[in-house]
Amino acid sequence: MNLVMIGTGYVGLTTGVGFATLGHKVACVDIDASKIARLDLGEVPFYEPGLQEALKQVQSSGNIMFTTDLESVIGQADIIVLAVGTPPKSTGEADLSALFAASQQIGFCLDHEAVIVVKSTVPVGTNRKVLAHIRKTMQEKNREELSGLINIVSVPEFLREGTALQDFLVSDRIVIGADDAIAASTIDRLHEGIKAVRLVTTIESAELIKYAANAFLATKISFINEMANLADRVGADVRDIAQGIGLDHRIGPHFLNAGIGYGGSCFPKDVSALEQLSGHNGYSFKLLSAVIEVNNRQRDSFFKRLVDELGDVKGRRIAVWGLAFKPDTDDVRESAAIEIAQRLCAQGAEIAAYDPKAMENAKRVLSDTVIFAPTAMDAASGADALVVLTQWPEFKEVSFKTLRDQMVEPHIFDGRNYLADLHLEQLGFIYRGVGLGRYDAS
């Protein structure tokens, strides 16, 4: 099939490359000319494992092309996918301006029957608004009759950064929200070759499933973080609790890692947007407010613990390992690591940070007093404390014996419990995790 993908961010690009890998012809469109120029040269503008290689492959097979000019490629399109950003406004609601601008542009140049797919995460009712925008613009261009033949399908994405390409090719489910059975079956065929259960729903249900999935996962994280706080007070280990409940197949073992809470471009935004959506519909979704509160408190209490133990951090050298919101990405959006580093800076600490992939992005948001070290060991050398904020595998490969000699004081605060199994106390470190039952929170 011929596809136009509008938006070349994490979702649009991975999905575009994914469909091209399945053999479809994909034209990726973005208003950012410098991004399109880089993509045209085969350069992925962010770090996503395997994506660079996959892009090269589909470029050499001729299945993908990049342009800023929608009009030049829309003529061949059977399907037009919207994957533009819907960032949060200051109120927590999703900002849909880019989505509506792209819809209008589609309406302006679409001159044949096509199925419109919305991949962007959007509040309930948005797909219909997108369709209305497209139809209205088409009518203004005297394409009234054709406008009635345009259908919209909500196909939410569930791609995790770091494993996005893998998630595209093998996923738990593909949700297809449509009014029109033919449009739904076209979208089903588009996904041929992907191993996943198909779930066909109404448009509204599909829109809500996406928010519900992320909100539920965020709830699991906040739940285990609450258990971690309790575990610290009663001398239990939250990792045992996670394992003990996760073995119950009704609960499952995933998303039960306690720590400094969730971040990233999806969870914080989607949980807030769902809370807003509920409020606007006259319903107070109490659980979500608590999930958000617990997540924020998690960063506060980690920071408090650090200051309680170290005393005044002003003028003290603190090493920060990890800045990305999770490993295997260079994304620092809503990263708990960034927030903690910023708080340390604000209190006058001298920060030496290291992240294998996210330092360039972190430089744009952190104070220019932060030192960015070339290795994890360099960051920790001469430090009064080490703070571990992202679970990058290379952190476990460091020689902790050497590290102990390099650090001025042996404090390690692990916001992810990532090094908890290494028995660092035996090497002379004062090691603190989250919910390991070894912290007197009184």
Catalytic residue status for 345: no
Supply the angle between the helices 286-310 and 336-346 in degrees, to the nearest 10: 40
434: β partners: none
Q: Which of 159, 176, 318, 353 binds ligand UDX (CB under 6 A)?
A: 159
Whether 219 has a binding-site annotation, put simply, is: no
Does 259 count as an annotated binding residue? yes
209 contacts 200 by C-beta, under 8 angstroms? no
Residues 221 to 240: which contact ligand UDX by CB under 6 A? 221
According to the binding rule CB under 6 A, does residue 160 interact with ligand UDX? yes
Nearer to ligand UDX, 232 or 384 (CB): 232
Q: Would you count residue 214 as binding ligand UDX (CB under 6 A)?
A: yes
248 CB neighbour count, 10 Å cutoff:
9
Q: Is 210 annotated as a binding residue?
A: yes
Parallel/antiparallel/unpaired status of strands 170-178 and 151-154: antiparallel
Which range touches ligand UDX (CB under 6 A), out of 189-197, 255-263, 282-290, 349-357?
Answer: 255-263
| Residue 297 makes contact with ligand UDX by CB under 6 A | no
Q: Which is nearest to 328 in space by CA: 51, 16, 87, 85?
A: 51
**Helix, coil or strand: residue 129:** helix
Give yes or no for residue 356 binding ligand UDX (CB under 6 A): no
325 binds ligand UDX (CB under 6 A): yes
Q: Tokens in use for 374?
A: 């070339």
Which residue number, 223 or 354, has a Cβ lying nearer to ligand UDX? 223
CA-nearest of 301, 360, 306, 304 to 331 is 360
Q: Give the total of residues touching ligand UDX (CB under 6 A).
A: 20
| Beta bridge partner(s), residue 67 | 29
User: Are 130 and 100 contacting, i.e. CB atoms less than 8 angstroms apart?
Assistant: yes
Considering only 32, 255, 377, 406, the residue that binds ligand UDX (CB under 6 A) is 255
86 touches ligand UDX by CB under 6 A: no
User: For ligand UDX, which stretch binds (CB under 6 A), given 75-83, 168-176, 259-267, 305-313?
Assistant: 259-267
Q: Is the dihedral of CA 53, 54, 59, 60 positive or negative?
A: positive
Between the alpha carbon of residue 241 and those of residues 235, 247, 249, 301, the distances in Å are 12, 10, 14, 20
Residue 15 sits in the site that holds ligand UDX (CB under 6 A): no
Judged by the rule CB under 6 A, the positions of this chain that interact with ligand UDX are: 157-161, 214, 217, 221, 255-257, 259, 261-264, 266-267, 325-326
Active site residues: 266
